[in-house]
Every structure is written in C-alpha cells, then in structure tokens.
Structure 1
Amino acid sequence: MSNVVIIRYGELSLKSMGVRNFFERTLVNNLKAMLEQEAVSYNRVIRDRGRIFVESDDPVAAEVCSNVFGVVSTSFARKVDSNLKSAAEECAEMAGDFIAESESFAIRPRRSGNHSFTSADLGRICGDAVYEKLESLGRNPSVNLDNPDKEIFVEMRQNAAYVFTGISKGVGGLPLGTQGKMVVLLSGGIDSPVAAWLLMRRGVKVIPVFCNNEPFSDEATRQKAIKCVKVLNDWSAGTPMKMYEVPNGKNLQAIRDNCSLKNTCILCKRTMYRIAFEVMEKEKASGIITGSSLGQVASQTTYNLHAEIYGLGFPIYHPLISFDKTEIIDMARKIGTFEISTLSSAECGAVPERPEVRAMYDAVVEEEAKLDIDGLIADSLANANILYEFE
C-alpha cells in the first residue's frame, strides 16, 4: 500500500494523440514545478490512461496540485492491489477513521481496464466490508446511496486500485505554456490581473507590461502592479514570468498638450497598445491582453473600445468583456490579487473631468495625427526596463 494523489483532467483527453501527449507532458512538468515551489515532497509523477498520479505521503499535495492549470480535480488516495479483496479491506480500514456513529454512507465504484467483476460487484463487496467494519465498532451503520453523510470512492484500474474519501475541485483549463505567449497590459487594478489569469488558465504564458504614468500616477500604483505580478507568478510554476516597465507619463503629457482633453483616455490606451505591440514583437508573442469590461467605466463603451483599436492591426484580447464587476471581484479574491489591487493609491491625474463616451474612430485617428506617435513610442521603449524576471 502507498499514498498517491489522483490528478484528473478534462478536455486534454479530447485531443489527438500527439497533441494529448504534448499537453500531458507539459502538465506533468507543471505539477512537478508547483510541488517543488510549495516545498511538498513527492517521489514520482506518473501518466496512466487518462489520469496522472503523484506519489506523495503529504495530503497537502492534493490541494497544491488542484491549483495547476489543466487540473479538473484531485484526490488524496490509498493505492492497493487491483483486486476485490484488497479494495474491500482498504475501504473498511478507511471507514473506521472516517464514518462516525449513526452516519450513513455510500460506496462510489469506478472501473477502468479488464476485470472479471462489474462496478456493481465492486460497490457491493466494498459496501459489505464497510458495513461489517462499522457494525463491529458499534456505530449503527446505514447505507444511503442518494444522500449519504459520507462517501468512499473506489477506482479500480488494471494495475492498482485507489480508495479515497474526497475530491478537490481544480482550476481546470489547459496546461500553462501549451498555447504560446501573450503580453498583458497590467495596471495593478482589480481587472487586469484577472484578465491575465484567465488567459493563463487557457494555457497562455503571459508577459506583464506595466505602463508607468508618473507624474500622473504614484509609486503606490507601481508597487501594486509589481505585487500582483508576484501573485500571478505563483500560479505560473514551470513557466516563470518576465515583467516590463515602460514609461508613459511623457506620452500622456503630449496627449494633453496637443489633443482634445476628452479623448485623453482613448489616446492613452492606443499608445499603450502600441507599446505592448513592440514588446509582443520582441518576445515573439502572439497577442495583447487587456482588462477591459464592457460598460464598467465611462471609457469602456462599444464606441470607445472600437476607437481604441481602430487601424492598429494586431490581435487584442478582452477576456473580461462580458463579466460584471462582482464576478471580476470574486475571481480576484480567488486568485489572491484583490487585497493588493484595493490598496490605497492615487487615481490617474490625467483623466479628464468629462471623458468621451461615444468616440468616433475617425476623429480619434485625426487627433492622434497631431502627435509624433512613432517618436513617443520609440522614446518610451528606449527607457523601458525589465522590472522582474522570475526564476
């Protein structure tokens, strides 16, 4: 007998054999990296017919593995020989420590491979063993298959059987690193870290770019962005992050000096997109991620979102576009960035009193033509730096 963590994944199993092998190998590497990052001891990580097994005696391993992108659920289980007798004995042993006086129980059997017995046989024999064990302990057992107080799961596979009492929900998605790289415009607010996390969940390695708007912002804003990236990097075990800082304050000043104030936010966003595009090209990434959510603030109208990207000609992704603020906050709490994002910091001092909410894209392009946009971008990039490169 030994202890293992059962790792279950979802849509990976629907891929072609070659793609599935690549995804599974990546997931195994990411699981190892997460376990090592969290200092959880393990012996081996094994792939076996639609499951991954982590050999570990530490129950914390199941929780740690559930936070790896691509994992649908985990269970800390006892591994025994692949026969009815061994499975039934382990179920009975586990029940003695798990099921209390007068609690009802159910056995949840599952088989994979070729066996001389059915799943119903497995459930019945293990259930009998548990009932007899509890009865011998004087606990007045009862079986309730519909709504039991406790459940014991038995998964019988070709070479081993696994007995466990709980299933921890994973974050799901695809293994990080299987869908290429994208740049994320990360401000340190609530939205952009969540947008980054959602694309990470779909397998994308993200490269955070923080556009520093000083003197229109403050050091507290910068520190919030850095701390949010550190949290995201904790989710990124196996694919460490690189964070860029690019000055944008001079660009904002030029916009305010030469263009209509009501278009400041739209022109600033277009400038940041151009900066992000240059980083995207340098890093050989394939898209730009933003935290825009439709209608959430005055500047995020359909008109403005159109004007922000008109004529730019590169892929921009808005993973939060249909989420309301409550949903985004809930995700930020889950990720671990909410408390950081809500720390006190100065509001952007360049936001006009009455920002444009129905921008016309042609008028915005005319306004932008008043700027030496190529010169501004080149100057920003010349003064950019890699703020963090995590190991």
Structure 2
Amino acid sequence: MKEVLLLKCGEIVLKGLNRKTFEDRLLKNLSRRMKHVADCGISMRQSVVYVEVPEETDADAVMDCARHVFGFATISRAAVCPEKTLESVIETAQSYLAPRFAQAGTFKVETKRGDKKLPMTSTEISQRVGGELADRFPAVKPDMHCPDLTVHVEMREKYAFVHAGPEPGAGGMPIGSNGRAALLLSGGIDSPVAGWMMAKRGLELVGIHFFSYPYTSERAKEKVLELGRKLTVWCGRMSVMVVPFTRIQEEIREKCHEELFTLIMRRFMMRIAERVAVEYGCGALITGESLGQVASQTMPAMAVTGAVCGLPVFRPCIGMDKEEIVTIARKIDTFETSILPYEDCCTVFTPKHPNTKPKMPKILEAESRLEVDALVEEAVAGVEIIHLP
C-alpha cells in the first residue's frame, strides 16, 4: 500500500507577502535532510507538504527524519487511497488501520475536505465512512467524545488519504530563515539546549568552542564535537570553530587576581567569538547562561562580560531552572553526552571565591596588564574549523 507523510506547516502560514520565502526554505531544508534517508518525492500544496515514501523504503526512518525538521506543526503517516471515492476510502481504512482497530475498543471518523467540489460535506463523509467501518469491525464501538481510535480522512485536491491522527512536529521556523548565529558551545548541559532553542527560531548555527590543551584533553574536545553532531540531527550540517585558549588562560592566571579570572576569561571569549562570528556571517551570539546559576551568571557579571561585544547576545535559557534545561537536553539527546566527566576550559581554572558583583573599573584595571588585542588576534588566527555532517 502506498504511503505518504502529510506535514502541516506551522507558524509560517501566518506570514504575509514574504511567506513563499519561508516555504522555499522549508522545502529546501526538508529535501536536504531526506536525501540521506531515501529518494522521496516532495511537493507542497495548501500549506501541506507531501513526502511520498517509496515502497522499498523504511517509512519509520523517513518519519523520524521529518520529526527533526523545524517548521512543521504536525506530521501524519497516511495511506493513499487508489481512488478519491468513498468506496476507496472505506477499503483503504479497513486495510491500513486494521492493526489499530484490533487494539481499540471505540472509534470515530473525522474528515477534512480540502476539495470543496465534492458533493458531500465533511460530516456526511465521516458518517458514511464511520457507518461502514462499524459494520466491518463490530467489536469496536462508535464513540464521538473519547474514542480510543480516531480515523482521519483527508480529501485533498488530487488524492484522498487515511491515517490514525497526526503527531507533533518539531515546530518553530525553518533553519536559516532568520539568519545565522554563533553558539558558544561548551561541554556542559546548557549550551546545546540554548543552540537548539535558537535553531528552532530559524537560526543556522555555527559552533565556537574554546579548547585549552593540555589542561583539557582530546576526549573533552571530542565530547563537544559529539554534542555538535547531536545538534545536527535537528539543525542539519554545522561547523565548529575550535579556538586555542591555553595561552590566554595562562596569562590571566599569571597577571590578574584570582577572583576576577572567570570574568576576564569570559570577556576574552566574547571578543573572540564576535570576531569569528562576523567572519562567518553571523549576526548574533548564543550562550547557555541562566540567571544566577553560577557566579559568572549574575546580572552584574553578565553586564561586564557582555560589555565587550557589539553583536546581540541571545540567552534563551536565561529564565529557566536547571530541571527545565535538563528536560530539553534529554529530549534532544544531548544530556548523556553533556554529563561525561571531561572538563572544559571554564572549569579547569575556576577560582575558589569568584566575584559575583564585579565593578567595571576593577576589571579594566586588571585587563590593562594584558596584551588584549594581541592575545585575541593570536587566538583567532589559530582557529581550527571542523565541519560536521
């Protein structure tokens, strides 16, 4: 039996004259992702994207791929009726949904009639199909209020489809429809979640990771790259810029007060990240900061670290507690990787008593002992670019 995925567009249907731009981006993203799974036919009509699943293809794999593409509100795996007639709809529903009927005690039929030329109304189609199915599955009783199974009939322009109901899509906006941003990707729980949240709003991601060998190991670097690969399941291809950060940390440790180490380090990160972001066409930075979670994420501390950056800094986790962030990390399959015990550059030189209420004059006085511009230039020049599939 021929199957098709019906992907209903999300909030892009609310767009005005620029709606086609978003739709084109969505189709391009879907096509690029699907080509790694199967040679599917993809088309769009009336804000519904049709993915034709070849018979020899694993439909579950195609469905799983579609679940991870931002821009779709719902996804339905449906059978294509051989003819757009009630008889064909009934026969298809009986055959395709027989396993569902075997597990249900009650059912009802809901019809969407995209083709308004049909002589019967949606209610009339539902009543006719429901009556026939009740006769063919006598053990399953009709229930219009709380059925175990809802049979969905969609009468579209060219074909009729039958399915057992939609499931939620990834939602959000198509990747790239709102530009590109640089994600400061550490090995922790928060930054991958922040990247995922902003990708869902249509941002293409470029990762930036600060690497302090030999204080952090190659395994720590591989952990971050694995987090990037986890994100590509949702975001598609991605590049990670690995910044050599050892010399900067050693200079700060040698010439600045311990309590200011983390703040000055993060100011260097923001400077470098902005330089790399601009070079690669990014219009903003993304961090995983959550207000008050650690000493460097108090309001005064974030004001100090953000002051060196001219680009917008998006902090999607700012108002979330740790449990909320962990819930998303589990959903996007980054949590288990994030908790692997490999230190990143933010933890190896953590002061015992960090300053939570820094004053800018004191920060500037400490930075005056450092060759800031030269250190930034050296780090930017040493960036290693790693492309993830």
Fold match by TM threshold 0.5: yes
Please give the per-residue CA displacement for 1:15-70, whole angstroms capped at 9, x wherever unaligned: 124x2212222222222222222x2342x101011100000044312232111111
Q: Which of 90, 98, 123 is matched with 1:120 structurally?
A: 123
Question: Are residues 1:10 and 2:13 paired?
Answer: no
Amino acid at match of 1:116: P
Mapping for residues 1-391 of structure 1, pairs under 5 Å: 2-17=2-17, 19-37=18-36, 39-42=37-40, 44-56=41-53, 57=55, 58-60=58-60, 61-80=62-81, 81-100=83-102, 103-114=105-116, 115-135=118-138, 140-237=139-236, 240-346=237-343, 348-386=347-385, 388-391=386-389
CA distance in 2, matches of 1:303, 1:327: 24
Deviates more, 1:362-371 or 1:184-193: 362-371
Look up the SS of the partner of 1:47 in the other structure.
Answer: strand
Give 1:110 deviation, angstroms. Answer: 1.6
CA contact (8 A) 1:99 1:150 kept: yes
CA distance in 2, matches of 1:144, 1:121: 16
Percent of pairs with identical residues:
30
Give 1:95 deviation, angstroms. Answer: 4.3
Give 1:92 deviation, angstroms. Answer: 3.1
Flag structure 1 segments of 5+ consecutive residues without an equivalent. Answer: none
CA distance in 2, matches of 1:55, 1:89: 20
Look up the SS of the partner of 1:30 in the other structure.
Answer: helix
Amino acid at match of 1:303: P
CA contact (8 A) 2:205 2:235 kept: no
CA distance in 2, matches of 1:320, 1:362: 29
Look up the SS of the partner of 2:343 in the other structure.
Answer: coil
Equivalences, count: 381
CA contact (8 A) 1:310 1:361 kept: no
CA distance in 1, matches of 2:38, 2:104: 36
Amino acid at match of 1:64: C
Look up the SS of the partner of 1:235 in the other structure.
Answer: helix
Please give the per-residue CA displacement for 1:352-383, whole angstroms capped at 9, x wherever unaligned: 00011112234323322332110110111122
TM-score (structure 1 length as normaliser)? 0.92
Flag structure 2 segments of 5+ consecutive residues without an equivalent. Answer: none
CA distance in 2, matches of 1:339, 1:98: 34
Amino acid at match of 1:324: D
CA distance in 1, matches of 2:337, 2:214: 21
CA distance in 2, matches of 1:170, 1:316: 28
Give 1:8 deviation, angstroms. Answer: 1.1
CA distance in 2, matches of 1:235, 1:21: 22
Look up the SS of the partner of 2:283 in the other structure.
Answer: coil
CA distance in 2, matches of 1:95, 1:65: 22
CA contact (8 A) 1:63 1:168 kept: no
Amino acid at match of 1:74: I
Amino acid at match of 1:120: T
Aligned CA-pair RMSD: 1.8
CA contact (8 A) 1:92 1:126 kept: no
Please give the per-residue CA displacement for 1:266-308, whole angstroms capped at 9, x wherever unaligned: 1111100111111112112101111111111222111111111
Please give the per-residue CA displacement for 1:76-129, whole angstroms capped at 9, x wherever unaligned: 101223333332332233343321277111112222231322211121011011
Amino acid at match of 1:196: G
Cα separation, partners in 2 of 1:24 and 1:243, compared to 1, 3 Å: same
CA contact (8 A) 1:175 1:203 kept: yes
Look up the SS of the partner of 2:336 in the other structure.
Answer: helix
